[in-house]
Structure 1
Amino acid sequence: MPIALEELTGTITKVVLSGRIDIAGASAIDMPMSLVGGSKKAVIVDLAGVEFMASLGLRSVVLSGKTVLGKGGKYVLLAPRPAVEEVITTSGVDELFPIFHDEASAIAAVS
């Protein structure tokens, strides 16, 4: 499964994505990411285990994040691999959701 949820301290939710988030991977994360967006207010999306991210996968992450931000919440991205980070920065998504490379900083940003 390319997605797992971890409840961290307080009300912070860590979404751990892994594998290839291509068409099949995007399909697998779409509904869970929508649920996270609709129910959480402090979200860290851990991308360290993502080898490849297609635009459909990025779309799921962005829609979830926009929902969280729309409720006044906080949403950050954690530790993407260089190829995945390039997709994020090229598309400008990093201007919506900051990227952190260590978990402590990500936790501080959503606290």
Structure 2
Amino acid sequence: MKIESQPLRPGLVLVSLDGRLDISGAAQVEPQFKAACDEANVVLVDLSRTPFMASIGIRLLLTGAKGLRRKGGSMHLCACDPQVEKVLVATGVHQLVAIHATRDEALAAAGSSSGT
């Protein structure tokens, strides 16, 4: 599992995940993912290269989203693999974290919700 973190503007970070978000994948990216959520107010998470997500991956996303929400921020998921999106919807994640079809849609929503 690989993670890339890219600031898009002050307070807004794009995190791209590449690989399976299973037990080992989540362990590999957790420190950098947590750091991105701690440093930003709004985090866009590109899941286009994440073909599988286990419950530990969902936990990672929700923990980050809750931390962002506590400080008035938000998380936006985008470009999900269809199977991953199916899991996120089935588990109710979509009720807590916005899911967008594309990175551009997520960026537009983040811009309107972040107050930046």
The TM-score with structure 2 as length reference comes to 0.89
State the partner residue of 1:26.
Answer: 26
* Number of residue-to-residue matches in the alignment: 111
* Displacement after TM superposition at 1:9 (Å): 3.6
CA distance in 1, matches of 2:26, 2:10: 29
Greater than 3 Å deviation, 4+ residue runs: none
Query: Could you report, residue by residue, the CA deviation over 1:22-63 in whole angstroms, capped at 9, with x for unpaired residues?
Result: 111010122122212222101100000001111101111110
Question: How many percent identity over aligned positions?
Answer: 34
One-letter amino acid of the structure 1 residue matched with residue 26 of structure 2:
A
Does 2:79 correspond to 1:79?
yes
Runs (5+) with no aligned partner, structure 1: none
Partners of 1:34 and 1:94 lie apart in 2 by: 20
Tell me the CA shift for residue 10 of structure 1: 4.2
Cα RMSD over matched residues? 1.2
Written as runs of structure 1 = structure 2, the 5 A alignment for 1:1-111 is 1-111=1-111
3-state DSSP class of the match of 2:5? strand
